[in-house]
Amino acid sequence: MKALTLALMLSLQPVGTLTPHKPLRQPTTQLAKRTKGGRWYFAASGHAVYCYGPVMTVPSPNGNLQKVATLCRDGSAVVPLKD
């Protein structure tokens, strides 16, 4: 009788609780896929920035030329660099 009761109790238990759940995948962004070819630069604001694009010389609003890094990891398209 005990064996019959034990078999009945085990058959009524949900099977899903015994199997481990797979972790959810996080969506990847285009910026996360581009991990090669980047470089650290010292920004004019005093912070270090990691950028993937080329360094360019562009005219600043006051007429001088300014070096900028492009396509940075923080989402900025252009970051002015400290000379």
Output the tens digit of pLDDT for each of the chain's 83 residues: 777 676 767 676 665 555 666 777 776 665 555 556 899 999 999 999 999 999 999 998 898 999 999 999 988 899 999 97
Q: Rounded to 5 degrees, what are φ and ψ at 27? A: -65, 140
Strand 65-70 and strand 78-80: pairing? Answer: antiparallel
pTM for this predicted structure:
0.54
CA–CA distance, 74 with 58 (Å, rounded to integer): 21
